[in-house]
Amino acid sequence: MLDEGAIISGDYRTSIREMELELKSGEPEALWTLALKLAEQVPLRPSDSSKASRGNALSNQHWPLPEAHSPAEWLHRATLALDAYHDSQQAAFLTHAQEALARLAEHPALDITARAHAQALTSGLNGAGQPSTVYGKAALALAHRLAYQTTLR
């Protein structure tokens, strides 16, 4: 589904332009493959924040960032910080996102392939926090790899 518009909460507003991919049935790998194909053509930034949670943060003007220890947690923290930056325009959140991506890229639990994806993330955003196709491909590949590793445990 494509969604373009705004989240409006009280006097606050933030634009959205998102594509939501959801698997109703079938093989999860098909969804990952589709997402990676899209990322090759379109600069995207995967997000796991709902419009409702973003609206609540906007209304309260409060964007809490979770603690992080594991690679998946650092990726989640970076994603939330980027959402917060784009919704609030507070530069500190872009800094938090960049710091989380740097910590992720250095995490000792990453294997060589995951580390390469994580390192690509650190240079895949422009100065305005907008992604390149490199960022989107690396973020999806890393999220996929981390999700797969979690299911093996």
Q: What is the pLDDT of residues 109-120, one digit of tens each?
A: 999 999 999 999
Residue 2 has pLDDT above 60, yes or no: yes
pTM of the predicted model, to two decimals?
Answer: 0.91
Own/partner long-range contacts of 79-87 (Cβ < 8 Å, ≥24 apart): 79/45, 79/46, 79/47, 79/48, 79/49, 80/49, 82/45, 82/47, 82/125, 82/129, 83/47, 83/49, 83/54, 84/57, 85/129, 86/14, 86/129, 87/7, 87/14, 87/54, 87/57, 87/58, 87/63
- Residue 150's pLDDT band (cuts 50, 70, 90): low
Report the pLDDT value the prediction gives residue 3, as an integer from 0 to 100: 87
128-140 tens-digit pLDDT: 999 999 999 999 9
Give the separation between CA 126 and CA 97, rounded to whole angstroms. 12
Mean pLDDT of 35-53: 91
Average pLDDT over residues 77-87: 96
* Average pLDDT, rounded, for the chain: 92
d(CA 148, CA 150) in angstroms, rounded, equals 5
DSSP letters, 12-35, are EEEEEEEE----SSS-HHHHHHHH
